[in-house]
Chain A
Amino acid sequence: ETGVTQTPRHLVMGMTNKKSLKCEQHLGHNAMYWYKQSAKKPLELMFVYNFKEQTENNSVPSRFSPECPNSSHLFLHLHTLQPEDSALYLCASSQGLASDEQFFGPGTRLTVL
């Protein structure tokens, strides 16, 4: 257990559905991250939040919408996704930004039909 939990662990959705991924960290960290991991591609940083404020949006399509209501919770709202969005979505947290060690959740395996 890394202190970062993600739900659901698996999700199958159609292209017209709306769903949300949830991440919670119990480490008292200030920064939280969403990453996308596709087969045979490096881990891609999607969004970064520091003290609940979004500090990075890595040219992510608007069909992905993050929300950070407090320093412990992070959501990723999904709507009208494409099959190529199927991937493992990983949440991570760290005490401060960037140079600090990041703690990852187990991920949500998303399949878009």
Chain B
Amino acid sequence: SQQGEEDPQALSIQEGENATMNCSYKTSINNLQWYRQNSGRGLVHLILIRSNEREKHSGRLRVTLDTSKKSSSLLITASRAADTASYFCATDDAGNMLTFGGGTRLMVKP
């Protein structure tokens, strides 16, 4: 079954605005990762947050993790047209394999 589920499925914003995507999961995890995928290309790792961490930053990215709610959020600040892509969360399940969610399609309009 699907471990991570992103919300919303699609998001359209203007350049300069912030974009927030959420991920919910079902079982206990060791860590949660966020990936980005440009259309028809491979995924690119953005950030990894461990289960004992609550917040992590990388450039314009901010990730939070709430293990009590089994949820995570990815915030992209001051978005750019080049941020247009699909964003996926991935969690490691009991078998130590990564399970990906369905993704959020982000469109940043110039």
| A and B held together in a complex | yes
| Nearest-neighbor residue (CB-CB) of B47 within chain A | A101
Q: Chain A interface residue count: which class?
A: 20 to 34
> With the chains together, A6 CA to B41 CA distance in Å?
11
| Pair A56/B45 contact, Cβ less than 8 Å | no
Q: Which of A88, A92, A99 contacts B30 (CB 8 A)?
A: A99
* A95 interface residue (CB < 8 Å to B): no
* B88 interface residue (CB < 8 Å to A): yes
* B78 interface residue (CB < 8 Å to A): no
Please report the total number of B residues contacting A with Cβ < 8 Å: 23
| Pair B95/A105 contact, Cβ less than 8 Å | no
- Mark A residues whose CB is within 8 Å of B: 2, 4, 6, 41-43, 45, 48, 56, 88, 90, 92, 97-99, 101-107, 109
Q: How far is the CB of B41 from chain A (nearest CB, A)?
A: 6
B28-68 CB contact bits vs A (8 Å, 1 = yes)? 00110101000011111100100000000000000000000
- Chain A residues with CB under 8 Å of B33's CB are 101
Query: Which of B11-19, B69-77, B98-106 lies at the interface with chain A?
Result: B98-106
| Nearest-neighbor residue (CB-CB) of B5 within chain A | A42
Q: How far is the CB of B22 from chain A (nearest CB, A)?
A: 16
- Chain B residues with CB under 8 Å of A97's CB are 96-97
| Nearest-neighbor residue (CB-CB) of B45 within chain A | A101
- Chain B residues with CB under 8 Å of A90's CB are 42-43
Q: How far is the CB of B53 from chain A (nearest CB, A)?
A: 13
> With the chains together, A92 CA to B41 CA distance in Å?
12
Q: A43-B88, A45-B98, A56-B95 are in contact. Are A99 and B31 (CB under 8 A)?
A: yes
